Amino acid sequence: MEQRFFADTMLGKLARWLRVVGCDVAYVPALDDAELVARAREEGRLILTRDTLLIRRRWAREHHFFIVGDHWRDQLRQVVTAFGIDPFRHILTRCLECNEPLRDVVMTAVADRVPPYVHETQELFRECPACGRIYWGGTHRERMVAELEKLLGE
Ligand SMILES: [Zn+2]
């Protein structure tokens, strides 16, 4: 089964980039440590954390992955390597804000929800069923692919 994660409050940027590569990552910055551990346990998620106090909590002790790096690039590389994640296989298949898997939508359905230029030049659109954000290819995607290639080349 695919590993599901719960990122602690200090790892927002890592959580977002893990969603970019298609990982299922919960991230709720408002939670305190006890709530975070309870939620992760309830949802069967592995806690990603750099917090040495958090990992002393009962359930968390056995169910965390300790993040070493200070920078999100190092952190992402660490997770991708440790869990054997192919960063390009499921790129941009999940909402970066809500973590929901995106669904394909037909062009006509998004015509009035994206800029005309985008509508004319893009063919594939995906929508987040939770927040309604529309995702498409183009420069945003290219930038992320370039960023990931750079990251893995380092
Ligand atoms: Zn969303």
Q: Which two tokens stand for residue 116?
A: 């005309």
- Ligand 1 centroid to Cα of residue 123, in Å, is 20
Asked if the structure places residue 97 within a domain, the reply is no
- Ligand 1 centroid to Cα of residue 29, in Å, is 16
Asked if the structure places residue 88 within a domain, the reply is no
By residue range, what is the domain housing residue 74?
4-82
- Ligand 1 centroid to Cα of residue 102, in Å, is 8
Asked if the structure places residue 16 within a domain, the reply is yes
Looking at the 3D structure of the chain, how many domains does it have? Answer: 2
pLDDT (tens, 9 = 90+) of the chain, 154 residues, equals 689 999 999 999 999 999 999 999 999 999 999 999 999 999 999 999 999 999 999 999 999 999 999 999 999 999 999 999 999 999 999 999 999 999 999 877 788 888 888 888 887 889 999 999 999 887 778 888 998 998 877 6
How many other CB atoms are found less than 10 A from the CB of residue 1? 4
- Ligand 1 centroid to Cα of residue 133, in Å, is 6
Decide: pTM greater than 0.85.
yes
What is the CATH number for 46? Answer: 3.40.50
- Ligand 1 centroid to Cα of residue 52, in Å, is 31
b/e string for 10-33 if b means 16 or more Cβ within 10 A?
ebeebbbbbbbbbbbbbbeeebeb
